Amino acid sequence: MKKKSFIYQTWWIGLIPMLVGFIFMIVATVIQLVPMDGVDINSVYTENASAIRDFRFIFLAAFGGTGLFIFMIGLLLIGYPKYQKVKNQRLKEQGIKISAEVIDFQGTALTVNNNRLTRLTCTAKINGTDYIFKSQPLRLNPVPFLKNDLVDVYYDLGNMKRYFVDVDGSVRDVVEL
């Protein structure tokens, strides 16, 4: 069976704007291919070729540009979680690993399906200084499943703001049926 992840996955949210943007761009492209003999611009019918070309260009820019913008937002919503995953994997491979003590498990301001997303807060002492680390948004409470009530944290010694709280790697094997 596949091990269940506690981290809330958000990449799928980008599929909706990508689909809407793609449909807008298809409509804008189809309008460019439809033959037009004349066009009604501001209640004035014209068969002027330059007026028709200008109308097509404005429609392509407005509809296709909007579609492209929405499509790019969808790509960003899909690409950012993938980038975070690669960055976290790099921190796991190259960063310094410490075990941090859990101090809090609380809800965030984010609500998905009428459930508040939660975040795990933990602390560790590094070189005599106490640091507080916060996890990514979580779906479930991982505290009962933690090994020795400690969470693995990977950080970059050059920049302490770059860290990753490895909740999934710190819990025992959990399978959701």
pLDDT digits (tens, 9 = 90+) for 105-145: 888 887 777 878 889 999 999 888 999 999 998 888 888 88
Q: Is residue 134 situated within a structural domain?
A: yes
Residue ending a domain, among 91, 116, 149, is 91
Q: Is residue 166 situated within a structural domain?
A: yes
Average pLDDT over all residues of the chain: 87
Taking CA 168 as the corner, what is the angle to CA 162 and CA 172, rounded to the nearest 5 degrees? 140
One domain for residues 22 and 50: yes
Domain extent, residue 129, equals 95-170
One domain for residues 146 and 74: no
One domain for residues 111 and 130: yes
Q: Is the pLDDT reported for residue 172 higher than 90?
A: no
Say how far apart CA 168 and CA 103 lie, in whole Å.
17
One domain for residues 84 and 101: no
One domain for residues 48 and 114: no
One domain for residues 143 and 74: no
Contact assessment for residue 136 and residue 118, using Cβ atoms and an 8 Å cutoff: no
One domain for residues 22 and 86: yes
Q: Is residue 152 situated within a structural domain?
A: yes
